[in-house]
């Protein structure tokens, strides 16, 4: 086989691999459910991050505060005792679990998998953030949202505004962001952002 024929064959294989991945992502976007997730900036000032922002995504917790207290009471009281000795009362993580995300009444809800160790998840990993304002359930790892080269950082929101992300919920893996939106405290609607 001539070197030029080999080079063309390798190029075609690479094009097919990239095209198949793109086709799968487009198929998922058309067939899988999508939802708005409340999000927060996560390390957006890292110099080597490139043209994306990292988002920490919140998910609705199907458990009541009483159930959370019952399941993670020992861990929670230990963390609170340690924080009480510190002059800085920062939010802290607790209640790590594995699972997936499903839609219930058009809201993303965590579905927990009790059969695996929370430190060795084969699927998504969740943890709870305890702050003065309450407890929220979040994906443990950040989700990247790619932005155009000319766009300003869209994650900087004014006081009284919340950052939200519309994302596809794949059968496996983290949500795949589509667009960002802003929700004002006194409004119920989310306004999608135009990132040109």
* DSSP conformation letters of 13-28: HHHHHHHHHHHHHHHH
If DSSP codes are grouped into helix, strand and coil, which group holds residue 71?
helix
Same domain as 54, residue 23: no
Same domain as 44, residue 17: no
Angstrom distance (rounded) from CA 99 to CA 25: 22
Mean pLDDT of 136-164: 85
Same domain as 18, residue 114: no
How many angstroms from the chain centroid is the CA of residue 101?
11
Same domain as 104, residue 162: yes
Cβ atoms of residues 183 and 46 within 8 Å: no
Mean pLDDT of 163-182: 90
CB atoms within 10 A of CB 57: 23
Tell me: the pLDDT tens digits for 65-101? 888 888 888 888 888 777 777 766 678 888 899 999 9
Q: Would you say residue 34 has pLDDT above 70? A: yes
Mean pLDDT of 142-157: 81
Same domain as 25, residue 44: no
Q: What percent of the chain has pLDDT over 70?
A: 94
pLDDT of residue 46: 55
Same domain as 167, residue 145: yes
pLDDT of residue 48: 60
Q: Would you say residue 160 has pLDDT above 90? A: no
Indicate the pLDDT class of residue 37, thresholds 50, 70 and 90.
very high
Indicate the pLDDT class of residue 57, thresholds 50, 70 and 90.
very high
Same domain as 116, residue 80: yes
Same domain as 22, residue 82: no
* Residues in Cβ contact with 101 at an 8 Å cutoff, skipping those fewer than 6 apart: 59, 108, 109, 110, 111, 124, 169, 175
pLDDT of residue 154: 81
Q: Would you say residue 26 has pLDDT above 70? A: yes
Structural domain count of the chain: 2
Mean pLDDT of 158-186: 88
Write down the mean pLDDT value for the chain. Answer: 84
Indicate the pLDDT class of residue 45, thresholds 50, 70 and 90.
low
Tell me: the pLDDT tens digits for 116-126? 777 788 789 99
Q: Distances in Å between the alpha carbon of 53 and those of 61, 110, 141, 180, 196?
A: 25, 23, 13, 11, 15
Range of the domain at 118: 33-192
Task: Please compute, for residue 147, the number of CA atoms within 13 A of its CA located in the half-sphere on the CB side.
Answer: 22
pLDDT of residue 50: 61
Same domain as 49, residue 22: no
Same domain as 80, residue 64: yes
């Amino acid at each position: 086989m001539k070197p030029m024929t080999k080079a063309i064959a390798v190029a075609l294989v690479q094009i097919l691999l990239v095209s198949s991945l793109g086709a799968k992502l487009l198929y998922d976007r058309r067939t899988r459910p999508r939802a708005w997730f409340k999000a927060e900036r996560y390390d957006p000032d890292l110099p080597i991050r490139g043209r994306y922002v990292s988002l920490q995504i919140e998910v609705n917790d199907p458990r009541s505060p009483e159930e959370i207290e019952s399941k993670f009471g020992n861990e929670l009281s230990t963390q609170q005792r340690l924080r009480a000795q510190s002059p800085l009362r920062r939010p802290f993580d607790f209640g790590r679990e594995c699972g997936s995300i499903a839609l219930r009444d058009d809201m993303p809800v965590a579905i927990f998998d009790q059969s695996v160790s929370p430190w060795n998840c084969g699927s998504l990993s969740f943890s709870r953030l305890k702050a003065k304002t309450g407890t929220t359930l979040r994906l443990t790892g950040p989700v990247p949202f790619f932005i155009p080269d000319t766009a300003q950082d869209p994650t900087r929101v004014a006081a009284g505004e919340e950052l939200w992300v519309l994302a596809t919920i794949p059968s496996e893996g983290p949500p795949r962001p589509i667009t960002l939106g802003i929700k004002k405290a006194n409004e119920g609607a989310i306004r999608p952002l135009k990132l040109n």
